[in-house]
Amino acid sequence: MTIPVLYEESFFAVIDKPSGLFTQAPDSVPSVETVLRHQWATPGGPQPFVGLPHRLDRGTSGVLIVAKNQRALQRLGEQFHSRKINKKYLAAVRGVPTERSGQWIDFVRKIPDRPVAEISRAGEEGAKEAILNYRLIASESNISILEIELLTGRMHQIRIQLSSRGLSVLGDWCYGSTDVWGDVDERGERISLALHAATIHFRNPQNAKPIFVKAPLPKLWHENLSSSLLAQVVS
């Protein structure tokens, strides 16, 4: 496997993460980290540094920043921590939101001992505020494509906030979808979602110049959605 590189400098790169690939995992399991170490290795050279200042869920595709040394990792991490990085996602969902745009504010908590999260009440143990902005950009035959801007970064935030409003991401078997989207793994679990990290704005960790990177829509979107629906996305 080769991961596409969308933008690259000596201290960092922005890749186009495929859906179905973990961002990080044990060395025996393919992940962005293990694949890039092999992809960037040079014969006889040291093991490449692969630092991940942020992550995408296994099923999510799209832009992911990768640091190539510790200093870049620290500086990029500071940008994420201070919320100076702007990320926008595209989500294909079953259903149509009641309003064409808006902001959703919820509280989300991880369910103990399970790899999933849920909407919770403010003040409940483990509850964290989750905020996003959304905009309806395309709709056809009860399938909508939303542009989403995350203002917080909670576990499965987009997926949970959409599902709680009856708008499950296509292929998201964890949060209510019954739609097929991509392949299944050896355990029969779906490994891809119709959730794509489309764009990212951040500052070069070396000289602070602004950088904008956009990832093209994955092949699965073209295979599973109509051309007329997708035309509304790029128009």
Which sequence spans correspond to the domains of the chain?
Answer: 5-234
The model's pLDDT over 143-196, given as tens digits with 9 standing for 90+, comes to 999 999 999 989 999 999 999 999 999 999 889 998 889 876 666 667 899 999
When pLDDT is averaged across residues 186-208 and rounded to a whole number, the result is 89
Give the integer Cα–Cα distance in Å for 198 and 202. 14
Tokens found for residue 144: 């909508």
Q: Is the pLDDT of residue 235 over 70?
A: no
CATH code at 5-234? 3.30.2350.10
Of the chain, the percentage scoring pLDDT greater than 70 comes to 97
76, 104 Cβ separation under 8 angstroms: no
Q: Note the helical H segments in 32-188.
A: 32-39, 70-81, 157-163
The model's pLDDT over 3-13, given as tens digits with 9 standing for 90+, comes to 999 999 999 99
Of 55, 22, 18, 232, the residue nearest 146 (C-alpha): 232
pTM of the model: 0.93
Return the residue matching tokens 């000596």. 10
Q: Is the pLDDT of residue 73 over 80?
A: yes
Say which residues have a Cβ less than 8 Å from residue 169's Cβ, sequence separation at least 6.
Answer: 91, 92, 93, 158, 159, 162, 163, 175, 177, 193, 194, 195
38, 53 Cβ separation under 8 angstroms: no
Q: Tell me the residue type at 125.
A: E
130, 162 Cβ separation under 8 angstroms: no
